[in-house]
Structure 1
Amino acid sequence: MGSKPILEVTNLTQQFNNGDHKLTVLDHVDFSVQEETICSVVGPSGSGKTTLLGLCAGLDRPTLGEVSLNGVPLGPLNEDERAEVRNKHVGFVFQTFQLVPTLTALENVMVPLELRGRRSSEVQHEAEELLKKVGLADRFQHYPTQLSGGEQQRVAIARAFINEPKILFADEPTGNLDEETGSKIEDLLFDLNRSLGTTLILVTHDLSLAQQCQRIIRLKNGKIFKDEWVTTPEAEQLK
């Protein structure tokens, strides 16, 4: 496990206007995550898990506080600059897959590197190799509607790893999948994390999945009420 924090969250607060009242979704949250750590974020619905993930990945701006990704404070950056940081350092896996319906599996995986300005002909081989690694060697030219939910999530994971991110955020990556398919997706995430040395921040309702991570951050009412290192055999193997 690396010794340098790749994610630093300071005094993070997120509020939304709800009629005449302010709704506080996150309330002065502080934590940091070291390089190559596998960390889960758990808590009841409405505890702020997905909001926290979006702020950490630079997808949204907080009401108060600061997020630093790989040593870069996100607060002073404009949207284009934050998008550049995400493209260089961040992968994101959504519960709803978020694939482009008009692109094939191969083309969906190629998108992040093409956004860096690389030619399609240069990145195609890398995308093909990742799709093979996630077990989709025979699905290159299939569109999302021609793929099962598990296959779509595999494409989404390959897309998230194509730019070799320093940190990967996964929001309920198995939430829309059956138990068997979800278990395979979990194994795939952990395997890719180990082989590429990527830090993994995982939001989940699944406590058995959380127990396989090295660290569990528990949220309740927008605050961290417990932050613990896991000592299960599965988690010990990840260290």
Structure 2
Amino acid sequence: MHKNPILDIQNINKIYKSAGKSLTVLHQINFSISKGSTVAITGPSGSGKTTLLGLCAGLDQPTSGEIILNSHPLSGRSEDELAAIRNQNIGFIFQNFQLMPTLTALENVMVPMELRGEKNIRNYALDLLDKVGLADRADHYPVQLSGGEQQRVSLARAFSNKPAILFADEPTGNLDGETSDKIEKLLFELNTQAGTTLVIVTHDMELAAKTGRIIRLKSGEILSDEVQSSAKASLLNS
């Protein structure tokens, strides 16, 4: 276990019941993640990656076990309490972007800050859009943006509440190669600049190899947990 981990996963199990039968999606998952690190969670389809990411982010509750996020135990919390913890600690990049279609790019980035009750947020939101190369698209709606542009808005929004930890579910899965490279570069740049812990679910082993650690899942269990050499990760990130 890491000293003072930002994320501590203890004996997590997730079981779904359907038609009187039980389906175990995750079984006895244990790991902890230190602050400021970069971690990839990989594995074949159906291995439980996205389910695990959702549990780590407090978007769902495990059947048993405990998740402690930035010193906050998540078990037994109401949805309002979990929402408050997420808003104070987490950024999340969804594979399908999850932008609000009736809001402009700028307004989408401002939402988490508005929920926190912050004031004078427009200039900071514009600065984030500028960092992802979309300052000139601030007044455009999601339908007016390409997939890559929507993902960049999603990335700016994820960093708008200055999260302690950022979860990214297949952040480059729907993008072409050139756009994927740009999103990867932005993820690691913002991670480095803000000191934000980065946890990525991905099928892309080239992207996974750029992180400091790879946790591999298979059939709902941890197959391996490999710390990358800092030299290797640094070289691949350059």
List gaps (5 residues or longer) in structure 2.
Answer: none
Question: For residue 144 of structure 1, what is the amino acid of its counterpart?
Answer: P
**Displacement after TM superposition at 1:234 (Å):** 4.8
1:195-228 Cα offsets, whole Å, 9 max, x none, are 0000000000000110000000000010001000
Point out 4+ residue stretches in structure 1 off by more than 4 angstroms: none
Name the SS of the counterpart of 2:47 in structure 1.
coil
1:219 aligned partner: 217
1:48-90 Cα offsets, whole Å, 9 max, x none, are 0000000000000110111000011000311101100000000
**Displacement after TM superposition at 1:183 (Å):** 1.1
Assess if the C-alpha contact under 8 Å between 1:11 and 1:65 holds in 2: yes
| Residues 69, 130 of structure 1: alpha-carbon distance in 2 compared, 3 angstrom cutoff | same
**Displacement after TM superposition at 1:236 (Å):** 3.4
1:27 aligned partner: 27
CA distance in structure 2 between the aligned counterparts of 1:106 and 1:16, rounded to whole angstroms: 38
Name the SS of the counterpart of 1:175 in structure 2.
coil
List gaps (5 residues or longer) in structure 1.
Answer: none
User: Percent same amino acid among aligned pairs?
Assistant: 58
**Displacement after TM superposition at 1:231 (Å):** 2.6
1:104 aligned partner: 104
2:127 aligned partner: 129
CA distance in structure 2 between the aligned counterparts of 1:150 and 1:4, rounded to whole angstroms: 36
**TM-score normalised according to structure 2 size:** 0.96
CA distance in structure 2 between the aligned counterparts of 1:37 and 1:50, rounded to whole angstroms: 19
1:11 aligned partner: 11
**Displacement after TM superposition at 1:3 (Å):** 5.1
1:229 aligned partner: 227
**Displacement after TM superposition at 1:180 (Å):** 1.2
CA distance in structure 2 between the aligned counterparts of 1:45 and 1:140, rounded to whole angstroms: 35
Name the SS of the counterpart of 1:26 in structure 2.
strand
CA distance in structure 2 between the aligned counterparts of 1:126 and 1:193, rounded to whole angstroms: 17
Assess if the C-alpha contact under 8 Å between 1:92 and 1:160 holds in 2: yes
Name the SS of the counterpart of 1:39 in structure 2.
strand
Question: For residue 194 of structure 1, what is the amino acid of its counterpart?
Answer: T
**Displacement after TM superposition at 1:233 (Å):** 4.4
Name the SS of the counterpart of 2:114 in structure 1.
helix
Assess if the C-alpha contact under 8 Å between 1:215 and 1:228 holds in 2: yes
**TM-score normalised according to structure 1 size:** 0.95
1:176 aligned partner: 174
Report the aligned-residue RMSD. 1.3
CA distance in structure 2 between the aligned counterparts of 1:3 and 1:136, rounded to whole angstroms: 39
Name the SS of the counterpart of 2:26 in structure 1.
strand
Assess if the C-alpha contact under 8 Å between 1:211 and 1:232 holds in 2: no
**Displacement after TM superposition at 1:232 (Å):** 7.1
Assess if the C-alpha contact under 8 Å between 1:13 and 1:29 holds in 2: yes
Question: For residue 25 of structure 2, what is the amino acid of its counterpart?
Answer: V
**Displacement after TM superposition at 1:18 (Å):** 2.6
2:116 aligned partner: 116
CA distance in structure 2 between the aligned counterparts of 1:209 and 1:231, rounded to whole angstroms: 15
1:118-160 Cα offsets, whole Å, 9 max, x none, are 34xx111110010001111101100001111111000000000
1:51 aligned partner: 51
